[in-house]
Every structure is written in structure tokens, then in C-alpha cells.
Structure 1
Amino acid sequence: MKYDIVVIGGGPAGLAAAKSAYDNGAKKIVILERDKELGGILQQCIHNGFGLHKFKEELTGPEYAQKYIDMIKNTDIEVKLETMVLNISEDKIVSMINPVDGYMEIQAKAVILAMGCRERTRGAIAIPGERPSGIFTAGTAQRFLNMEGYMVGKKVLILGSGDIGLIMARRMTLEGAKVLGVIELMPFSGGLNRNIVQCLNDFDIPLLLSHTVIYVQGRDRLKKVIVAKVDENRKPIKGTEVEYDCDTLLLSVGLLPENELSKDAGINLDTRTSGPIVKQSMETSIPGVFACGNVVHVHDLVDFVSEEGERAGKFAACYIDEENCKLERVSHISNGNGITYTVPQIINLEDIKGKLEIFMRVNNVYKNKKIVVTDDNGVIASFKRTHLAPGEMEKISLPEVLLKKICGNISIELQEGL
């Protein structure tokens, strides 16, 4: 079977990419989704706060997803649910399997990767101790509670202050659980400031920075969690141990882009983001294979995921129509002082249309800094910021008039002063 575009993943990135590709002229499109419904992680995010940028209204996760699902229903885009993609070949043959079609191979003119991300588990961070029940990733607990109707515990401790951990602190409290605190290894929170205020401060839930879990106890069910303060090298400090009596430990210790398919396909990955290296068109190192959303880098807001998906869909449609998304005169973006990573990592200077948006994260909490963009000739642009934090993604926009003057490669760094 042949398609113009195969979209792998039916979450917000994949839905936006498919709709954008359709609107830009690609007609034979299929979305492959491994779950039993479209919408991705949004279906379990029943809290509000979505859509403020994209739809100019405050929506819950399912409401946001439904807007895109309805858009897809009004097109000829095909959807295959409960479909697991097994492989993507060099010539863009996508191997998949599902209960209806069995094993199938699909020939695509272009592929869009939108597989999202996954949570790090207890095994990934090697928490010592016994192996009782009652230890969940925050996302798993969220699904049990919001979609399956199961209360995962009554006396809860949360390790990690990422957004999902903060949101689950509030959610568990609203369901009647006692949340003893949120433990964070770093000296700053990994979540958005609004979530710290709305999910912790408003419910008097303590946040312990520069602390970590050093041991868990419990033969069948979790009984105790031992927490200790850490030094500047993130090593536990002897004598600072505190025992918490609890039956549940939720882990919000980071998200990783889901890139097994990307690796197997031979796509170049960025070690900083764990996602594909992309150009401003969201094309990867393999021509005709695009990527968008949390499979590229972990976003804060779903609105930005959708925007990135729309860009990937637009350029994928362009690729199959004209095959003009080729590298000619390129500039590589590197991260300097204070910057952890930037996306995109490559700009095709022969294909500049309008402004270029660059996303980035900083490596610490900073006050009163400038984000400075330079090329081989010096400073191109600078952007003032009164506050920067690792938990809040930064975005800058470079207008076309500046991009056309770029000489050589670009570096982005933090400098002092406003």
C-alpha cells in the first residue's frame, strides 16, 4: 500500500502534522497510533490550562485533543488505531502490525515521526531498597486515576518536581490522599512556576529542594521512604536522613523522547535532547523523514507541540510536491554559556521564509540575563530576560532580514545584564 505521508503517532504533534500536511496539498495520509484512541497523553490530562496560545481559550487535555480529532474527521485522512510500527526502512517503507490488518508494509513518500516521550522509571535512576508495590511513575498514576478509576494510594510522597509530578500532587490531594511533600534533587524546581503556585503552594504541600530518596522499605506494600539532603555534587549528606511513613511513591524524574524507531532507521540524534537533529523544516538527517513534538525535545506547552507539528506537516507536503527541502547553504546552531540545547540545530539559509523560532533550555536559574545570538561576524541579536529556569522552555524569534545576513555558524549563549 502506498501513501503520500505516514504519520507515526496520533497525539497532539501527529494530529497537527497530519492536518497541516492535508491543508498544504498532501491528500493520501495515514496516522498510525498504537493506543485504542487518538489524542495521546492529553486524554489523561483532565486538568485545564491547555490551548491558551493556540485556541485562545482554556481547555482540558481531552478538550484540546478533541478539537484536532474533529479536524481530522472532516478530512480524508486515514487513521489506524492499536497499530504498532516495527520499523522504518531507508526507502521509507513503514512496517506495522495491528489486530485488523495483521502485518503490513506501507510505502511512504514522506514520514513524520510524532511518537512523543516516555517517563524515566525507578530502574533508570537506581533507587536502592526493597521492591514493594506502591511505586509508580507520575504518568502511570495519572492514567490509573483519571482514566481507569483506580486510587493508587492514600499517603503519598513524590520524587521530582517536573510538571506532571506537581500536577499529581494536587490531583491526589483533591481525591483525598495526603501528599507529604515533593522531593527535588536539584536546587530549583523542574516545573513551571504556575504549577508550583497552583499545585503546591495553594495546597500547603512542601517542596524540598536539594533532597533525594536514598532508600525505600516495604515487604509487600511500600512502608517507608528515606530522604536525605544532597550536597553541591548531588551526593547524600550523612546525618540528614528523614523517614517518611507512606504507602505510595510517585516518580516525576524526567521524560525521554521515544526514539527507538529513529535509532533503528539511522537518524542522527542529539545527545543533549535525546531526539533527532532537525532543520527549521523539522526534517531529520534522512531526506523525507520529519519529526515534531516531544519526540524531538520535551516541551512545556502542548500549544508549542502543535505549532511544531504544523510546521513538520507543511514541509512534508512541500517535500513530496517539489522535493525542494534539500540542504544548500546551512548554518549549524551551537549552545554556548548557560544554554543546555537548542532546536532546531540546523538552518537551511537558502530556504528562509518569514521568522525563525528557536527553542532552548537553560542549565540553571538565572536573573537579569541576555540571550545573545552570534555568527562569525559578531552579534546578530539579543533578547532580555529577567528570569530564566530549566523548567521553563525559552523561545526566541529571528526575522528573515537578519537570517539572510548570517555568516557561518550560529552560537547562542547567556550574557550578563539587561
Structure 2
Amino acid sequence: MQKEVDVVVIGGGPAGLASAKGAGSKNTQVLILERGEELGGILQQCIHPGFGLLYFKEELTGPEYAQKWIEEIENMKNIEVWTKTMVLEVYPDKRVLAVNEKGLWEIKAKAVIFAMGCRERTQGNLTIPGTRPAGIFTAGTAQRLVNIEGYLPGEKILILGSGDIGLIMARRLKWEGAEVTGVVEKLPYPGGLTRNLVQCLEDYNIPLYLNHTVVEIKGEKRVEGVYVAPLDEKGDPILSEKKFFPCDTLLLSVGLIPENELSEMAEIPLDKRTGGPFVDQFLMTEKEGFFACGNVLLVNDLVDYVSSQGLLAGENAGRFINREISREKRIPVNINGNLRLVVPQYISYPLILPEITFYFRVLNPHEKSILYLKDVGKTLKIWKYPIVRPAEMLVVKIKSLLLENAENINFSLEEER
């Protein structure tokens, strides 16, 4: 079966919902393809508060935040939603192959927005010696078991990795009566937001072991315990100092990977630093007419950033269809100093947006840092930060006029001296 539409949005989570609204506001016909049974994505299992503080200026739970966006697109007659629809392939000519209960579909679009989100790293991504017993879960899987299915994954639990989902699940499992013996992190600093460290670990006296990792899993049918060892300066475990932690469950909170298999099918280049596509300030990829937003673009801290990116990508997809966007010239965005990644990676000219938002992650934690924006040796703007952490993104907005005559766009994060 065939269908033609202006904009196809792949993914019905926060990024997809916002991009559908953005594209729909530009008088385009939008089709959302969501593989789940309902819209909202991962938000439906995130029952804790803390969402929407930036975008809606109020504190919401995940389902409440999702519902606000669902209600907004429900009122737009030019947005169609297909749930329980799996996208099988995306072609470079903007054809999308998808399957659902009605059959196999070939959908022809004028623009495609990638909003597939990200997935968790699993035990298969790690090199932990030992047996492969039951009782090993990703933190997100445990979150779904507890919050949606109503099951407790274990009674005595150790968490490997200090990502935000792991920290939140430490508190959640404690509430449900489980014993959380600790959170183990290989880096010398935590991987989650400061508010989650305080509210989820410190408030519940759950220990955090920095510069440590799990070196062996014990158990046959079920996890019986794990060995945890400190790391030396090179990051290698000091096995002579390993300690045994009895537990029946090991949760993995060891990072997220943007879901870009469909992007690769469409022959879109990916940035190894972000795991997502290279984009310009329109969030358009290197292949014209393809846009990316949310965690498929880069792993975000806050859902508010995801929604802002989705709205921008959707609006610009509409502008692209209406031929308001051109790429007469492109300049790469360079980074130096304590910066690990930047989005967007390019600036396209002419500049038709009033302002440009840049997202950064840092390499190492530092106090009193200065972010410089320079062009051929001259400083255009500076920002000062009392502290920067790898777990917390830096987000800056600048007026497009500042880059109107730029020749070499360079951001550098340096320690204040």
C-alpha cells in the first residue's frame, strides 16, 4: 500500500510529538509513525516528577508531560498518528517503508524527521567476566517492570553506573522495599545530574563508589553476588583489592546509544562524538530534507531540551518544504579546550532564524570556567560558569547576527585564571 504526505515523523516520544506540532504549524500534512501502542515514548514509565520545569514552567511527571504534548497535537487536524507501526527502512529519496496491522506501507514524503530516541547499553556491550545468570537488567527495563508491570526485579540490588535512570531507580527500588547496596561508577565523578545525586542517593544513604567497577558476576541460575574492584590511574581494576557484594540483582546504568540505524539506511553521515547525525542550526542533516532531534541527535539531560529541538526541527521541515531554507554556504563549528561535543556542527547561510541554540558537553569537571566564541582570533562573546560537569549539558543561545560575517566559528572552554 502507498501513501503520500508532506512530513513523516519517525517516533512518537517527546521529540516526535514536538516536531509534529512544529511541522503542523507550517501548514503541512504530518504523519507520526510510532512502534508502541501509545504516544509518549519512555515518558510513560517515568512516573517521577521533574519534567517540564523549563518548557511548561511547572513540575510534571513523565506521563503528565507527555499528555500535554499529546493534547496539543490532537487539536491539529493536519497531524495523523499511526501507532503499532514499525519502520523497516528509510531510503535516501525520502521513501519510508513501514508495517502495521493493515499491512506493508511505502510512504512518500517531502521531509523526514528522525525522532527515534536512544537505547540503553546492555550486558553485551560490557566485558564483565563470570557466568550469565538471571537477575541482570538495564535500569530502564527495571523501571518498566516496577512502574508499568508492577514487578520488583529483586530484593538485594547493586547498580553499575551512575546515569540518571540508575540513580532514579535506586530511590524507586528503595521505596518498594528492596535493599540497594550501592551504586558503582568507574569514573572519578558521577554520571547523573546533581539533583538526582542528592535526591536519590544522599537522601536515602545509598553509597556511591567512584573509581570502581564490577569485575566478576557470581551465580548459576540467579545472581548471587558480584566482585567490585577499585581502578588505578590508567582505569585498570586493582584485582587484589576486590570486594564481594552479595546481591540477587545487578542493574546496568552504563550509558545510552542514539537509535540511528534508520539514519544510516538513508545514507546520512553520523558524528562519532554525539552518536547522531551532523546537523546545522535548522537541525537538518547533511542530506537535505532529513532532520534529527532529541536523543537520536544527542543524548540530552532534560526532556525540555528534547522538546525544544523537536519543535525547531518540525518548524524547519515546514520551512524546507516551503522553500524558505537554502544552503548557499556552510561553515563548520569548531570546539577546543574542555569541550567534548557540540550541536549543531555546522552553520548554514543565509541565516534566516533570529537566534541559534548550541548544545555542548564537557570532557572533565572543572570549577570557574569561561566559554569563548571566537572568529579568526577575535572574541565575539563569553559565558562564565561556576562549575561544569560532563553529566550536565551546557546550552547557550546567540543572536544569528553575531555570526552574519563569520569566517571561522570556534568555541573554546577554558579554566578561569
Fold conserved (TM > 0.5)? yes
C-alpha contact (below 8 Å) 2:10/2:115 kept by paired residues: yes
Task: Give 1:21's aligned residue.
Answer: 23
Gaps of 5+ in 1: none
Tell me how far 1:162 sits from its aligned partner.
0.6
Task: Give 2:98's aligned residue.
Answer: 96
Task: Give 2:396's aligned residue.
Answer: 396
Tell me how far 1:400 sits from its aligned partner.
2.5
TM normalised by structure 1 equals: 0.97
Judge which range, 326-335 or 109-118, deviates more.
Answer: 326-335
C-alpha contact (below 8 Å) 2:326/2:350 kept by paired residues: no
Tell me how far 1:286 sits from its aligned partner.
1.0
Task: Give 2:357's aligned residue.
Answer: 357
Task: Give 2:55's aligned residue.
Answer: 54
3-state DSSP of counterpart to 1:351: coil
Matches of 2:401 and 2:263, distance apart in 1:
34
How far does the alpha carbon of each residue in 1:341-397 deviate from its partner, in whole angstroms, 9 at most, with x for none? 000001113124222110000011111110112222422211101100000011112
Task: Give 1:250's aligned residue.
Answer: 251
Tell me how far 1:412 sits from its aligned partner.
1.5
Tell me how far 1:49 sits from its aligned partner.
0.4
Task: Give 2:411's aligned residue.
Answer: 412
**Aligned structure 1 segments of 4 or more residues deviating by more than 6 angstroms:** none
Equivalences for 1:53-72 in 2 at 5 Å? 53-72=54-73
Instruction: Please give the root-mean-square deviation of Cα atoms over the aligned residues, in Å.
Output: 1.0
Task: Give 1:211's aligned residue.
Answer: 212
Q: How many residues align?
A: 414
Task: Give 1:340's aligned residue.
Answer: 340
Matches of 1:331 and 1:9, distance apart in 2:
30
Matches of 1:319 and 1:165, distance apart in 2:
40
C-alpha contact (below 8 Å) 1:226/1:243 kept by paired residues: yes
Judge which range, 389-398 or 9-18, deviates more.
Answer: 389-398
How far does the alpha carbon of each residue in 1:304-341 deviate from its partner, in whole angstroms, 9 at most, with x for none? 1000000000000011112x423212221122111110
Tell me how far 1:50 sits from its aligned partner.
0.3
Matches of 1:12 and 1:105, distance apart in 2:
25
Matches of 1:380 and 1:328, distance apart in 2:
23
Matches of 1:140 and 1:79, distance apart in 2:
26
Task: Give 1:183's aligned residue.
Answer: 184
Matches of 2:327 and 2:108, distance apart in 1:
24
C-alpha contact (below 8 Å) 2:326/2:349 kept by paired residues: no
Equivalences for 1:95-114 in 2 at 5 Å? 95-99=97-101, 101-114=102-115
Matches of 1:47 and 1:75, distance apart in 2:
29
3-state DSSP of counterpart to 2:350: helix
Matches of 1:22 and 1:177, distance apart in 2:
46
Asked if residue 321 in structure 1 is aligned to residue 305 in structure 2, the reply is: no
Matches of 1:228 and 1:3, distance apart in 2:
55
The one-letter code sitting in structure 2 at the alignment partner of 1:178 is E
The one-letter code sitting in structure 1 at the alignment partner of 2:286 is S
Task: Give 1:382's aligned residue.
Answer: 382
TM normalised by structure 2 equals: 0.98
The one-letter code sitting in structure 2 at the alignment partner of 1:288 is G
Task: Give 1:235's aligned residue.
Answer: 236
The one-letter code sitting in structure 2 at the alignment partner of 1:293 is G
**Percent identity between the aligned chains?**
52
3-state DSSP of counterpart to 2:337: coil
C-alpha contact (below 8 Å) 2:351/2:404 kept by paired residues: no
How far does the alpha carbon of each residue in 1:268-309 deviate from its partner, in whole angstroms, 9 at most, with x for none? 100101100001001011111101000000000000100000
Judge which range, 229-238 or 42-51, deviates more.
Answer: 229-238
Match of 1:81 among 74, 80, 83: 83
